[in-house]
C-alpha cells in the first residue's frame, strides 16, 4: 500500500509532499506526485510566498501559487497553503521600508486579505506566521518585529481568520520538534499573543528539517507535540519533513539509520491523536532544497535522485 492510504488507515488525515513550479513539467516525477494514494496532500514550496504573490505593493500575482493549487485539486489532494508573514523571501519594498505601526499593519492586512481571499475555500490550512522565533525563544529580528514587536503575530492571525474562516490557521517553525527554549516560546509567547489579540490559532506546524544522527526520540517528539495541544492548539503536524545527511554519499548503514529516524518522526505523529499529518519537503532527492542551502548535505528524502524508493520509504510504510 502507499503512504497516504496507510496514514489514513492509521487514523491520520494525510501524508503529503511539497512541490514546486519548476519541476511539475517532469513527467516521471509527476507520475508519483499525482498519485493521491501516495501523497494525499500538497504544499507549494514557493509559489504562495510574499515575493511571488505581492512583488510590488498592491500588485498581486497568483500564477505560481495557482499552478500548484490546481494540480492538487485535479489530483484530489488536500492543500496546505504556505506562507503569509515570513522574514524571508519578502520583497524589498516590505523589508526595506521605514513604516509606522499603522502603515505596516495595513500592509500585512492588505496582503493577507488579498492572498487568503484569492485562495478562499482551497486551503485546508494556512501557515499564517512562519519562523518568528530565535533559537533562544526571543522574537526574531525582522521588519515585522522591529515595527510592531510581537503584535504582528496577532494581527496576521486575525486578518487570516477574517479572510477565510474555514482555513485552519497555523504557526509554523523549525526546531519545534523537541522541548527547549523555542518550543516553550510557542507555548508561552506565540499562542498567548494570538489569543490576546482576539484571534484564534488552530495548529502548530513543526517543520522538521532534521539531521541523520541528531533526531530526538519518538517519545520526546510525541511529548513535544502533545505540549502544543495542552497549550491550546487544536492540532499539530509535521509540515516540512526531511532528514539530511551532513556528509555524502550515505552508506548503507546510514540509509538504515535515516529510515529509523523517519519512523520515529512518523511514529511520534501516530502517538498523538491531534497530529493530523505529515508533509515531506518534496519527495525526491532530485528536487530537495537541502544541497543549495546546506552545501555538502543532502539525500534527505524518501526517494532518491532517480525516483527510486529508499530504505526510508520502506521504514515509513512499515510504521504506518
Ligand atoms: C525553501 C524552498 O524549498 C526553496 O526552494 C527556497 O529557495 C527557500 O525556501 N522553511 C520554510 C520553507 O518554511 O518555505 C523553505 O522552503 C524551507 C525552510
Q: Best substitution site from 293, 295, 297, 298 to test ligand 1's pocket, by max atoms within 8 Å of Cβ? A: 293
Q: pLDDT tens-digit profile of 243-288?
A: 999 999 999 999 999 999 999 999 999 999 999 999 999 999 999 9
Cβ-proximal residues to 307 (8 Å cutoff; 6+ apart), any chain: 28, 29, 32, 284, 286
Q: Is residue 7 classed exposed, middle or buried when 0-12, 13-18 and 19+ CB atoms within 10 A define those classes?
A: buried
Identify the active-site residue in 38, 54, 235, 240: 240
Look at ligand 1, atom 14, and give the residue with the nearest C-alpha: 45
Q: What is the rounded CA–CA span in Å between residue 104 and residue 80? A: 26
In contact, 14 and 76? CB cutoff 8 Å: no
Residue nearest atom 16 of ligand 1, based on CA coordinates = 45
What atom in ligand 1 is closest to the CA of residue 239? 13
> What does the domain layout of the chain look like in residue ranges?
3-319
pLDDT, one tens digit per residue, over 132-161 is: 999 999 999 999 999 999 999 999 999 999
CA distance 242 to 244: 6
Catalytic residue among 54, 131, 177, 235: 131
Q: How far apart are CA 46 and CA 114, in angstroms?
A: 17
Give 18 Cα–ligand 1 centroid separation in angstroms. 10
Confidence of residue 5 (pLDDT cuts 50, 70, 90): very high
The count of C-alpha atoms lying within 13 angstroms of the C-alpha of 241, restricted to the half-sphere facing its C-beta, is 28
131 is known as an active-site residue: yes
Domain 3-319 has CATH 1.20.1250.20: no
Residue 178 banded pLDDT, cuts 50, 70, 90: very high
User: Are the C-beta atoms of residues 242 and 298 closer than 8 Å to each other?
Assistant: no
Q: Report CA(290)–ligand 1 centroid distance (Å).
A: 9
Q: What secondary structure letter does DSSP report for 187? A: I
Say how many Å lie between the CA of residue 1 and the centre of ligand 1: 30
The CA–CA distances, whole Å, from 267 to 41, 66, 260, 264, 271 equal 19, 33, 10, 5, 6
pLDDT tens string 105-132: 999 999 999 999 999 999 999 999 999 9
Asked if 278 and 319 count as a contact pair (C-beta separation under 8 A), the reply is: no
Distance 46 CA to ligand 1 centre (A): 7
Is residue 54 annotated as part of the catalytic site, yes or no? no
pLDDT band at 215 (very low <50, low <70, confident <90, very high): very high
* Long-range CB pairs of 65-71, under 8 A, 24+ apart, other chains included: 65/119, 67/21, 67/24, 68/19, 68/20, 68/21, 68/24, 68/42, 68/44, 69/44, 69/119, 69/122, 71/19, 71/24, 71/33, 71/34, 71/42
Note the pTM of the prediction, 2 decimals: 0.98
3-class DSSP state of 60: coil
- Amino acid 306: pLDDT: 98
* Cα–Cα distance for residue pair 45/184, rounded to 1 Å: 27
Which among 19, 44, 46, 86 is the best mutation to test ligand 1's pocket, defined by most ligand atoms within 8 Å of the CB? 46
- In the numeric block, which cell numbers belong to residue 297? 548535505
CA distance 99 to 1: 53
d(CA 77, CA 75): 5
ipTM (interface predicted TM):
0.99
How many residues are present in the chain? 320
Amino acid at each position: 500500500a502507499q503512504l497516504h492510504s496507510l496514514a489514513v488507515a492509521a487514523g491520520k488525515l494525510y501524508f503529503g509532499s511539497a512541490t514546486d513550479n519548476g519541476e511539475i513539467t517532469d513527467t516521471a516525477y509527476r507520475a508519483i506526485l499525482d498519485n493521491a494514494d501516495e501523497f494525499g496532500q500538497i504544499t507549494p514550496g514557493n509559489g504562495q510566498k510574499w515575493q511571488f504573490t505581492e512583488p510590488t505593493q498592491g500588485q498581486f500575482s497568483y500564477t505560481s501559487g495557482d499552478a500548484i493549487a490546481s494540480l492538487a485539486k485535479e489530483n484530489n489532494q488536500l492543500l496546505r497553503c504556505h506562507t503569509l508573514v515570513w522574514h524571508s523571501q519578502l520583497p524589498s519594498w516590505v523589508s526595506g521600508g521605514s513604516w509606522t505601526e499603522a502603515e505596516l499593519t495595513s500592509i500585512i492586512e492588505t496582503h493577507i486579505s488579498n492572498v487568503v481571499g484569492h485562495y478562499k475555500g482551497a486551503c485546508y490550512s494556512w501557515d499564517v506566521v512562519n519562523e518568528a522565533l530565535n533559537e533562544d525563544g526571543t522574537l526574531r529580528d525582522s521588519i515585522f518585529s522591529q515595527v510592531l514587536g510581537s503584535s504582528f503575530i496577532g494581527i496576521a492571525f486575525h486578518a487570516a481568520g477574517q479572510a477565510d474562516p474555514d482555513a485552519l490557521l497555523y504557526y509554523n517553525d523549525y526546531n519545534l520538534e523537541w522541548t527547549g527554549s523555542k518550543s516553550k516560546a510557542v507555548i508561552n509567547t506565540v499562542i498567548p499573543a494570538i489569543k490576546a489579540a482576539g484571534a484564534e490559532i488552530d495548529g502548530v506546524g513543526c517543520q522538521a528539517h532534521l539531521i541523520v544522527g541528531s533526531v530526538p526520540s519518538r517519545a520526546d517528539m510525541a511529548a513535544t507535540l502533545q505540549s502544543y495541544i495542552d497549550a491550546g492548539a487544536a492540532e499539530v503536524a509535521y509540515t516540512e519533513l526531511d532528514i539530511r545527511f551532513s556528509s555524502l554519499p550515505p552508506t548503507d548503514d546510514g540509509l538504515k539509520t535515516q529510515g529509523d529516524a523517519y519512523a520515529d518522526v512518523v511514529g511520534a505523529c501516530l502517538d498523538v491523536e491531534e497530529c493530523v499529518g505529515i508533509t515531506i519537503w518534496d519527495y525526491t532527492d532530485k528536487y530537495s532544497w537541502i544541497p543549495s542551502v546546506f552545501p555538502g548535505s543532502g539525500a534527505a528524502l524518501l526517494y532518491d535522485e532517480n525516483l527510486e524508493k529508499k530504505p526510508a520509504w520502506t521504514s515509513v510504510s512499515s510504521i504506518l
